[in-house]
Amino acid sequence: MDEQIPFQIISYAGDSFSKMMEALQEAKQGNFDKVDPLFAEAEQLLHKAHQVQTDLIVKEANGENNEFSVLLVHAQDTLMNTILSSTLIKELIEVYQRGQQT
């Protein structure tokens, strides 16, 4: 397995998480016009991370042997935490938006 694969997953997922947190901070400050563009960028980055993971899974399904390492485990952990965070951060942003409307 190319050692760059785990680094790609970590990089894309980490950048995605950072954009989500930026979006959350903007929502917290009431700057809702900045939230959607930041979250859209976060989702694009998350999609890239997920695509790298999917490519790895497809290769394994096609019989290519993938080497597992602590780095790959860390990459998977980072990706899954970012996916979970996406759901929770979206909910928090909605809470801030509803609070602004009242």
Q: Which residues contact 48 (CB under 8 A, 6 or more apart)?
A: 8, 12
pTM: 0.91
The response to whether 77 counts as a known ligand-binding position is: yes
- Cα–Cα distance for residue pair 70/88, rounded to 1 Å: 27
Q: How confident is the model at residue 3 (pLDDT cuts 50, 70, 90)?
A: confident
DSSP run (H or E) holding 72: helix 70-101
What pLDDT does 2 receive?
80
Tokens read off for 23: 């979006």
Token code pair at residue 33? 């016009």
Q: Which fold has domain 4-97?
A: Methane Monooxygenase Hydroxylase; Chain G, domain 1 (1.20.58)
Catalytically active residues, by annotation? 74
Q: Encoding tokens for residue 57?
A: 């899974």
pLDDT higher than 80, residue 102: no
Segment 10-28, tens digit of pLDDT: 999 999 999 999 999 999 9
pLDDT, mean of residues 36-54:
97
What residue spans define the domains of the chain? Answer: 4-97
Q: CB–CB of 58/38 below 8 Å?
A: no
What is the C-alpha end-to-end distance of the chain, expressed in Å?
53
